[in-house]
């Protein structure tokens, strides 16, 4: 898991989105745990990743949401 060291805009750009608003619109809420809400998103390159509202990200080479 990556630590929150970038802005949400930077997070969005790193994953191929034009803006955080675009990333947020492409994300689906998963669960709230330990005070953080987690989301899953499908990036423009066809990869799934999980991120939370505290700026942490779980990434991998996942082509399906089930693998993520």
Domain ranges of the chain: 8-62
Take residue 51 and report the two structure tokens written for it: 């991120």
This prediction's pTM: 0.73
Q: What is the mean pLDDT of the chain?
A: 82
> pLDDT tens across 3-33, in order?
456 789 999 999 999 999 999 999 999 988 8
Torsion of CA 17, 58, 45, 27, to 10 degrees: -50
Q: Distance between CA atoms of 31 and 44, rounded to whole angstroms?
A: 23
Query: pLDDT value at position 68?
Result: 45
Query: pLDDT value at position 67?
Result: 55
In the numeric block, the tokens 């930077």 are attached to: 10
């Amino acid at each position: 898991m990556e630590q929150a060291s970038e802005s949400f805009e930077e997070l969005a750009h790193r994953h191929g989105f034009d803006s955080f608003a675009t990333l947020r619109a492409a994300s689906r809420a998963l669960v709230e745990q330990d005070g953080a809400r987690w989301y899953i998103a499908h990036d423009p390159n066809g990869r799934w990743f999980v991120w939370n509202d505290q700026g942490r990200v779980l990434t991998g080479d996942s082509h399906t949401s089930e693998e993520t």
